[in-house]
A = this chain, B = another copy of it.
Amino acid sequence: MKTGAVNLAGTGQSQDKAAAREKPAVRSIADLARIAGVSVSTVSRALTGKGTLNDKTRERVRALAEEHDFRLNVAAQNLRLGRTGAIGVLLPLGHERGQQLSEPFFSAMLGHLADELAARGFDLLLSRVLPGRDCWLDDFVRSGRTDGVIVIGQSDQSAVLDEVAGHYRNMVVWGAHDPAQAYVTVGSDNVAGGALAARHLLGRGRRKLAFFGHHPAPEFVAREQGFLAALPEDLRDAVQSVPAHLTPEESYAAASAYFEAGNRPDGVFAASDIIAMSVLAAAAEHGVSVPADLSVIGFDDILLARIATPPLTTVRQDIAEGARLLVDLLQRRMAGEEDVASVQLEPALIERESS
């Protein structure tokens, strides 16, 4: 045990063993059937509400179940019904190690997915995978632990996704759409988002531009491409493209080194709000005034963007809508629908004080 941790006395002992002993534990519908003097099928019908049953019998069995604190075993129920009642949410950590889940975008998405799935009666099985071997996804879907999977972010795994999509229907991916893909995606139009950022900086009269967040993940590549493509040629060629990792710590280090080296752009498009906030921090530290000397625009519109100093102008992704669509398309695929098409969300410009 590490220093700073201290053991406490209480051991959380069971308080009412006596009460528990009064009634023998009822662990299965067979136990309850015995007590009720009916068959297991009657108990099943009473508790699931399926099938036809005398109202009195149903009530009697239900009362007994209540009295003995009995609930149907969901796992057994699911096995019998040939389902699991759970959807897997997979986070491939292809490019980035570290606390990927702490990335505000991911946690917001996860929260919305949790709500959306719960609303439809599914459990959410969370799995962060380090795609070491190519069969991580295949292993997962074949293990039968979930009825379907939502993969968040293609990372560098589109080949794997394609392969699995060939034999597994119940999968939807958050990420960029590509006509060549065999899998269904929901994602933002990152190219359009990049263009939005470019036009906004141009509109502010900025001409000495930098892009922060050069990164191999397809989402980031698209944001950069969209940004560059929307710029007049002379400006485009002069854009500085700064590689940055996605964690606050690393992106701050990159931004700080950048200003330290004497670079003084008048407009920065950052590939994520976290990176943008790092730029804000590094700029402040180097005496660069935002937005007077420098306009900064981010991407995502995380909850924190509005409490950045100054509040962050950004390109907004509608994560709630994305989550809703992911679950929706997944359910339609699970229902056997054939023509479930990928969806692309239009990002929107949110103007605040950093630009």
Counting every copy of the chain, the complex holds 2
Residues of B within 8 A of A108 (CB): 99, 101-102
A177 CB within 8 Å of chain B: yes
CB pair B107 A71 closer than 8 Å = no
Complex Cα spacing A7 to B184, Å? 11
Residues of B within 8 A of A49 (CB): none
Residues of B within 8 A of A321 (CB): 2, 4-5
The chain B residue sitting closest to A101, CB to CB, is: B111
A217 CB within 8 Å of chain B: no
Q: Given A12-B184, A123-B145, does the pair A310, B284 have CB atoms closer than 8 Å?
A: yes
CB pair A72 B114 closer than 8 Å = no
Contact of A309 among B11, B84, B177, B309 (CB under 8 A): B309
* Those of A289-321 within 8 Å (CB) of chain B: 302-304, 306-311, 318, 321
Q: How far is the CB of A235 from chain B (nearest CB, A)?
A: 28
* Those of A135-175 within 8 Å (CB) of chain B: 138-139, 142-145, 162, 165-167, 169
Complex Cα spacing A340 to B340, Å? 51
A54 CB within 8 Å of chain B: no
A128 CB within 8 Å of chain B: yes
Q: How far is the CB of A20 from chain B (nearest CB, A)?
A: 6
A124 CB within 8 Å of chain B: yes
Residues of B within 8 A of A13 (CB): 182, 338
Residues of B within 8 A of A5 (CB): 321, 325, 343-346
- Stretch in contact with the other chain, from A29-37, A200-208, A218-226, A273-281: A273-281
Q: What mask results when residues 5 to 16 of chain A are scored 1 for a CB within 8 Å of chain B, else 0?
A: 111111111111
Q: What mask results when residues 82 to 106 of chain A are scored 1 for a CB within 8 Å of chain B, else 0?
A: 0011100000000000011110101
Residues of B within 8 A of A11 (CB): 184, 338-341
Complex Cα spacing A342 to B7, Å? 6
A261 CB within 8 Å of chain B: no
CB pair B303 A142 closer than 8 Å = no
Report which residue of A14, A19, A274 has the largest number of chain B beta carbons within 10 angstroms of its beta carbon. Answer: A14
Complex Cα spacing A247 to B144, Å? 37
- Stretch in contact with the other chain, from A55-63, A73-81, A237-245: A73-81
A265 CB within 8 Å of chain B: no
CB pair A311 B281 closer than 8 Å = yes
Q: How far is the CB of A64 from chain B (nearest CB, A)?
A: 15
| Apart from A9-B342, A71-B139, 9 more pairs, CB < 8 Å | A8-B177, A13-B338, A16-B167, A72-B143, A75-B144, A86-B125, A101-B114, A126-B126, A251-B307
